[in-house]
Amino acid sequence: MAYFSQQLINGLVLGSIYGLIAIGYTMVYGIVGMINFAHGDIFMIGGFVALITFLILVSIGLTFVPVILLLVLLVAMAMTALYGWSVERIAYRPLRHSFRLAPMLSAIGMSFALTNFAQVAQGARVKPVPPIVTGGYSLFERDGFVVQLSNIQIIVVITTLVLLALFTWLVSRTRLGRDMRACEQDQTMAALLGVDVDRTISMTFVIGAALAAVAGMMYLLYYGLVDFFMGFVAGIKAFTAAVLGGIGSLPGAMLGGLSIGLIETMWSAYFSVEYKDVAAFSILIVVLIFLPTGLLGRPEVEKV
């Protein structure tokens, strides 16, 4: 029971990170109907930017951890958002009304380019950082197993919850959110009614990238390392999460992220670590067979 509780906590934390990335996928898919393959790499860039900012802040003598974290968060979000914006401008906007496979291939190309860019710019080796946030709580003990809840885990979950709430508010209550939903339904009509479609789509990419940057930073804090290749696997799993939750749905993305996180941790804990990814992907396939539009996705009615 204690072991299970510990895995539950670990799974939820990992799931939160996946969920944050998945939101970026789901939003972009909802509005432009394409898989933003480069999103996993945006997450990786976010991790790197957070790492470098952190190094600089420490070296100029900042020691107060909350201030460091806040500054790192802001810089990472802003800079990664600019990456998201640029990627859309260069690789997707020219192809917006093109046929479906062209933007997808362009996105895959962008993903390769970003991965390799990080490798060339920052080297191929893993970048470790010393633990920034330490400490935690022992929740309870049973059968000699102590269930731990670390401060960093609390930070990850709280940040995710706050961002999710903020984001839900943004989409449902603000002008931008309304524009986004309008573009999702019908871009031409939205444009006729005075919605700046280009700007709205750009903003979607910017927000998605900012959230991915948060995920990247959380990953850095939680695992204490980044490397240029981490975007690929995390990206696939986050996209899996988005699909699992029902693509286009924000709560779905979060739910899918948590599911994937839990499946992965539980599988590693009780079965085999080697096959954790196989488990995650297999469950995706099984879910899609029975729920072709994911857990919370709207069923697609075929008009005849």
Site for another protein in 126-155 (CB under 8 A): 126-130
Q: How far is CA 193 from the centre of its chain?
A: 32
- Indicate which single residue of 5, 119, 148, 202 sits in contact with another protein (rule: CB under 8 A): 119
Q: Are 44 and 268 in contact (CB under 8 A)?
A: no
* Phi, psi at 226, each rounded to 5°: -135, 155
Which residues, 6+ apart, have CB-to-CB distance to 228 below 8 Å?
Answer: 44, 48, 115, 116, 118, 119, 122, 124
| Rounded least distance, CB 143 to another protein, Å | 31
In this chain, which stretch among 54-62, 155-163, 165-173, 180-188 interacts with another protein, using CB under 8 A?
54-62
| Rounded least distance, CB 59 to another protein, Å | 8
Contact flag: residue 111 with another protein (CB under 8 A): yes
Exposure letters 157-192 (e unless 16+ CB within 10 A, then b):
bebbeebbeebeebbeeeeebebbebbbeebeebee
| Rounded least distance, CB 91 to another protein, Å | 5
What is the footprint of another protein within residues 165-224 (CB under 8 A)?
A: none
Contact flag: residue 161 with another protein (CB under 8 A): no
Contact flag: residue 268 with another protein (CB under 8 A): no
Contact flag: residue 241 with another protein (CB under 8 A): no
Q: Which of 252, 295, 254, 296 is nearest to 20 (CA)?
A: 254
Contact flag: residue 102 with another protein (CB under 8 A): yes
- Indicate which single residue of 65, 74, 94, 140 sits in contact with another protein (rule: CB under 8 A): 94
